Amino acid sequence: IYARVEAFRIVNGYGLFRVMTKDRREIVIEGSSDGIDWKPYEFKWKPGDVMRAPGWCAPHQPRLDWQMWFAALGSYRQNPWFIQTVISLLDGKPKVAALFERNPFPQSPPRYVRATLYRYRFTTAQEHRQTGAWWKRQELGEYLPGVSLEDVH
């Protein structure tokens, strides 16, 4: 497309970080009251639930969703703000819970929070027709083990 409209000088090929990663790694944060039943904190814009269609947020820059992309490139140990986010979820801070699409613990905060790293890709047209899913994901491993307030204080 760019080659066709380049002569009009209305667009350019610039893209910050456009070839920085080869795949899409995403962190899924989950909370639990009992350490057995885990519920995800869905982000407003980034992938999570594979059945949820991608959203359109431009020109808005969702800061938490954006920072999560960087966090997925390394370890939680390199991202103190991530640990603080987890602590705030465990503390039940409403302003932090409001950064997510919905709070799976509206009455009282979870006792535990954990995070898992996944590799996401769009489903093919055939996969989408068969399953209704927009994303296919593969678990890559634990990003943050299940922690409680006692573990982080």
- Model pLDDT for residues 96-106, shown as the tens digit of each residue: 999 999 999 99
Q: What is the pTM of this model?
A: 0.86
Label residue 19 by pLDDT band (50, 70, 90). Answer: low
Q: Which amino acid is at 122?
A: F
| Long-range contact set of residues 28-31: C-beta below 8 Å, sequence gap at least 24 | 28/115, 28/116, 28/118, 29/85, 29/86, 29/89, 29/113, 29/114, 29/115, 30/113, 30/114, 30/115, 30/116, 31/89, 31/104, 31/105, 31/109, 31/110, 31/112, 31/113
Looking at residue 111, its amino acid is R
